[in-house]
Structure 1
């Protein structure tokens, strides 16, 4: 598909501006060294090359082929090519699954024709691809007419037009793209297949991807892991947002889960940078070309503008990129050099550099040597293109860069394209907007940290006997306790006398709840009573709950009342698992009670997670200070919460579990544990 020695063009046109003519023209003019075999039954030659009537007439079995003829002809061509021994078909033809059920049926026949003989298909309805170092351009995009520049960024895109747009925008930015693949309908080969190929390909060192949807979660994960292990960063734009859907489950977890949130968690797991704009994608790819991915990334800033320093510091805090202060002895030396400078970080060398450019060199060198920053931004605005300032500024900064080639050194300057290329030829990164620079530099550190992580090891998920139908709350908590999620002391009671006996055993106050496998959210029908402080309150509560159940849920199976010890001085959290339709079981943690859907402060991760991963999820919550002793509260037992989350994630790997949720999970003060106060399990 991407490195063939010969290519046939089914539907080759003598007109180099038509869809069937453009790839032939590009292959000729870009110097493809392999055999080019045009197929056109109506012409003896096409664009100066001998043409063949049909696939059977070809002098050899082509390694790859372009299919650029419509409808049933495309299917017949795929059948003929595959039978002849062709192994890869790039299918331009549209009118398949994208137009409706009839087209989808045709698409299935197209793929079947290839698979009968081992031929793989990209498309249909794709724009094509290229491998530029080989002069190989089986693509009909006009974006390649302006040529290409050498580089290391590969692009894999589900959208043909937008993929070629990314290529053209990268070229305009000075970013070389050796390989572009557009996948179209993905009837056979998917985006993940080409990401994985790029992970192993010498042509590509940085991978950019554009996606509208992920079809095969397992393949996608495999591809991202291949890229991570190859130490190749992936920068991805994923557009479109959609909910998992009510059919997946009815728990709170499912109602707030969505493939976009889950995708974010998967991308974070594999160190992928998710770009929100084309500009951001190109920024990150531009910096990643340096292939410097610092672990424990820190940012140092040298500037002639205090205002720019504050702007950069704000951006760094938002991006999570640390800006430690310069060491005190280094600050003292810089202060001695320029008494009115600000040497902390950002380091403002002030306009004194107008008089002595060696000041800039001294300040920048100190930041690299004394500060030890792995990333540096030098803000010199229009000085970067000034006839009087640029030559001495370049000389000073070039000496610093040459002494520290392992640093990411980025200049925030205003300069002409010609001057910018001169700076880049010196080895500097150049961007006008320092806040965009911060985002790109921070991504390099996350790439580096991802590359250092060891692969996930094997997991012992275990197996539990599950009931035939969804259990009620009491049974759900019993099952989860067996799985490693303990619950509050409680008892299912079928009479007021049993309820009073349970309350006396647990000690007042107690909680009473309707017990029914058909009522998932008991609060909505008044099915939960708190602070029952004596025997009379328990008896009255039992009667109240049974009456409310009969009135407000007349069709529900009522199995009695659940009486539980009321837990005090706890932080209410929620943990859950839900089966995502793309990525399978996913674990969730967030603030508990009814607020989980109000604040939507949740973290997701593919199941199973270990306790370290669970702790990372918990610490990522905006509400984590509630667990960590905010405003004088006692610190909560976060390790116990992490153990419960990890245990629930393992439980979620059971094949019949559609979802499971503990809400609330009562997280007690340090060392006292975490107890499930309510639980729902939904089974297939």
Structure 2
């Protein structure tokens, strides 16, 4: 793991010299491919093969050992097994080599013994101040430098096309699959870095480097897990500041997938919802498939990120218009109707047109291609759409029509160069290249185009979002030695400024009656024990306790249920609380994530959290502005803001509570395992936690 300054990676991707330890004269072997690829790409630096059994390799002088090299290489490729790899790292480090690309496998991805060997490898490199890529990695390439320390067979199909996309991938095979798939779609990739086991350098380091590399505009990433959460988040933040999109494929969502990730690269898959929240926090996009990953990265190469984003559709097919409308609704991409005046003007031009949006100029376009230009111009000038999708299917590729269609579209595009244009056409490869050279995105499936165009708007929203306010300062938090009772948990919350429902801890029935009478009936009664955290499971919560006699009976009932269901539990008494009516029930919580640290959660309580899982997450700590944005982003937020004539809740008070909870969690340290405030009552004035569970780990 590392938090490398991205500038420190310059010698790795743009070296003046590279040694290949385990060099092969056979250009198809692992130790021979990097040499063959660099010779083909005319790498301008020194290539230094190392093999004690050869004097020459692929036309280059070969050296018997690292000690015999005429210079200390900037980078070394290590393609020898086991103990020889460890020796090579030691010898190269002693010579002053700054980076090693470790093809060698058989380390932490295999078993505990491999993990121990990997630890020795890292310790040896660090002793010399050398950085490692891998082990168990496929290598990297930097096309601009002609640098190919990689053994993938994908390069047999050709070197990367010119372009400004960078790929950072834990998996070498998947990373090169992405490169090859991009090349097949005529998409250029400038750089690929595969990180393997990430014993030292990680995907986060690669993203961080690409965020400040002038040769990269768009970053594609593949991750099986993240080992250093703060470094990963920092890399995403750097890319956002540079206004460079990061599109991520993260696997390991399922239990089976997570286990596969462990065996493949010894990664911690982590909580998938939290990973998505970290991406959203920094404006990165999560792709659901390889096709979607490439589609979005391809669209981002236009570097147009419309805010606000709206989709205008011109089509020659009503059916395609319906398909596109369905896709836009599923994606949440707005497709407002054309203004009524504009619709009337288009109807005057073509009475049987459908000018609402999608704008259907029908098959009449076959007879009058000027309709395409006139209708598209109206959509932009009158409709104001920031993204335009045109469905022209085969006519967009027909030799008799395509040149005129291009001319019509190009005239509109010249007048409105700030819009994002996508075409769904079926055309020859040569015709497609012409459209792309004009600046159009091409997708055979218009639904895929909708997803990509929507992503451009989300990227733009992320880039334009102001930096959040600093979280409020947090006082030092002293956690109890073990998991506290509810009353003790609420004292800890109160010290952090988190309001709770008025209540009293009562040692006997008469104290409970006195507390209830001071609050006013009805009241809530709960068993009070540090050993019974989930009280409802044993019937340890009583609602609507209406009078003094009911309090006495309730006290006895709670003690009896605790003795029956949890006979070993320590009982501190009964908690009596004011019963709140007319509130919206929410849930606020903290979870200690093994990768990203404390993470806050907010959602509506009751069925919304138990069944619908309508919750959002955010890394701690954060200010009230972020907290309010979280609250307003949940699907059921209208219940808090006055839906169906209900009085609006005090969202600001709820946000204040959530922010303070996040500050408390960050200050508490890793012994804090979780906090669960459920329910939290959101009222027209104020918000109050009615129940609190704090779980802590043992001291030390």
Per the normalisation by structure 2, the TM-score is: 0.93
Deviation readout 1:404-447 (Å, 9 max, x if unpaired): 22111101112222221121122211111111101101111111
Q: Which residue of 2 aligns with 1:117?
A: 128
Q: Does the alignment pair 1:504 with 2:522?
A: no
Deviation at 1:596, TM superposition (A): 2.5
Deviation readout 1:543-579 (Å, 9 max, x if unpaired): 1111111111111110111111111111111101111
Q: Which residue of 2 aligns with 1:238?
A: 250
* 2:554 counterpart (515, 535, 541): 541
328-337 or 372-381, which moves further after superposition?
328-337
627-636 or 490-499, which moves further after superposition?
627-636
Q: Does the alignment pair 1:216 with 2:228?
A: yes
* 1:574 counterpart (558, 566, 587): 587
Q: Which residue of 2 aligns with 1:331?
A: 343
* 1:5 counterpart (4, 16, 30): 16
Q: Which residue of 1 aligns with 2:488?
A: 475
Deviation at 1:39, TM superposition (A): 0.5
Q: Which residue of 1 aligns with 2:3?
A: none
Q: Does the alignment pair 1:683 with 2:696?
A: yes
Q: Does the alignment pair 1:348 with 2:363?
A: no
Deviation readout 1:182-205 (Å, 9 max, x if unpaired): 111111111101110111111211
Q: Which residue of 1 aligns with 2:541?
A: 528
Find the residue that maps to 2:235 and give its secondary structure.
helix
Counterpart-to-counterpart distance in 2, 1:598 and 1:371:
41
Counterpart-to-counterpart distance in 2, 1:518 and 1:592:
24
Find the residue that maps to 1:99 and give its secondary structure.
coil
Counterpart-to-counterpart distance in 1, 2:672 and 2:57:
60
Deviation at 1:595, TM superposition (A): 5.8
Q: Which residue of 1 aligns with 2:649?
A: 636
Counterpart-to-counterpart distance in 2, 1:228 and 1:539:
60
Deviation readout 1:609-632 (Å, 9 max, x if unpaired): 322222222222222233234444
Q: Does the alignment pair 1:107 with 2:122?
A: no
Counterpart-to-counterpart distance in 1, 2:468 and 2:128:
36
Change in 2 beyond 3 A, CA 1:187/1:291? same
Find the residue that maps to 1:178 and give its secondary structure.
strand
Q: Which residue of 1 aligns with 2:263?
A: none
Q: Which residue of 1 aligns with 2:182?
A: 170
Pairing of 1:390-429 with structure 2 (within 5 A): 390-429=402-441
Deviation at 1:315, TM superposition (A): 1.4
Q: Which residue of 2 aligns with 1:657?
A: 672
Counterpart-to-counterpart distance in 1, 2:607 and 2:552:
27
Counterpart contact for 2:391–2:423, Cα < 8 Å: yes
Q: Which residue of 1 aligns with 2:611?
A: 598
Change in 2 beyond 3 A, CA 1:546/1:258? farther
Counterpart-to-counterpart distance in 2, 1:467 and 1:9:
56
Deviation at 1:285, TM superposition (A): 0.8
Per the normalisation by structure 1, the TM-score is: 0.95
Counterpart-to-counterpart distance in 2, 1:520 and 1:10:
59
Q: Does the alignment pair 1:519 with 2:568?
A: no
Counterpart contact for 2:270–2:595, Cα < 8 Å: no
Counterpart contact for 1:242–1:258, Cα < 8 Å: no
Deviation at 1:124, TM superposition (A): 0.8
Q: Which residue of 2 aligns with 1:249?
A: none
Find the residue that maps to 1:576 and give its secondary structure.
strand
* 1:446 counterpart (452, 458, 461): 458
Find the residue that maps to 1:664 and give its secondary structure.
strand
Deviation at 1:465, TM superposition (A): 4.3
The runs of at least 4 aligned residues of structure 1 exceeding 6 Å deviation read none
Q: Which residue of 2 aligns with 1:142?
A: 153
Counterpart-to-counterpart distance in 2, 1:635 and 1:160:
52
Deviation readout 1:575-621 (Å, 9 max, x if unpaired): 01111110011110122247633332211011123222222222222
Counterpart contact for 1:242–1:259, Cα < 8 Å: no
Change in 2 beyond 3 A, CA 1:95/1:262? same
* 2:275 counterpart (263, 278, 286): 263
Q: Does the alignment pair 1:80 with 2:95?
A: no
Counterpart contact for 2:470–2:623, Cα < 8 Å: no
Q: Which residue of 2 aligns with 1:57?
A: 68
Q: Which residue of 1 aligns with 2:575?
A: 562
* 2:106 counterpart (70, 78, 95): 95
Gap regions ≥5 residues in structure 2: 1-11, 256-268
